[in-house]
Amino acid sequence: MVYCSNCGEKNEDSSQFCKNCGEALKNSQYSSKPIKSRIEVLKEDSNLHDPEDIYYESQTYNEPEDETESSIEWDVVLWGALILIILDGILIMILPQISLFIAIFMALVYVLIYTRRKSTLVVALPLTFFIAALIWAFFTP
């Protein structure tokens, strides 16, 4: 058996390439012992006792932002209102009878999908339609 000098995989003696990483197995690279696995090298470098510690130590944990339960996701509310207004403005030329219903449905779907905390959904939905009505009233003669 021949061990790959790149990854340490066992290969047949007649192999020219490593079956694991594809590295060329040249005569100068043949060795009768496997190289140290990457986890063993990392364990020696970082003085860890468990290979799983390497994975957990490499992960970063970001503290969640301090938000209260009653905070409103204004970005979702405003984008939902804009979707409603713009989509209705486009669809009124194509389907004047049902354009408002389609636009309301699409804005509703957008707010339902993109609201991160579902507890604020009770406030976000009516607020979206209220802001859309305000913008609509402001820009309509």
Quick: pLDDT tens for 108-121. Answer: 999 988 888 888 88
Strands 10-11 and 2-3: antiparallel
Q: What are the pLDDT digits (tens) for 32-68?
A: 545 555 556 555 555 555 555 555 555 555 655 555 5
Answer for the pair 54, 66: CB distance below 8 angstroms, yes or no.
no
pTM above 0.85?
Answer: no
Q: How many Cβ atoms are within 10 Å of 54's Cβ, its own excluded?
A: 15
Place of tokens 């468990």: 50
* Residue corresponding to tokens 């058996």: 1
Q: What is the mean pLDDT of the chain?
A: 76
What are the backbone dihedrals phi and psi of residue 72, each rounded to the nearest 5 degrees, phi first? -100, 140
Q: In this structure, are residues 51 and 43 in contact, taking their beta carbons and an 8 Å threshold?
A: yes
Element spanning 10, H or E: strand 10-11
Q: Residues 26, 28, 29, 31: is their CA dihedral positive or negative? A: positive
Tens digits of residue pLDDT in 72-100: 888 999 999 999 999 999 999 999 899 99
Write down the domain spans for the chain. 2-58, 74-139
Locate 90 and state its tokens.
């486009």
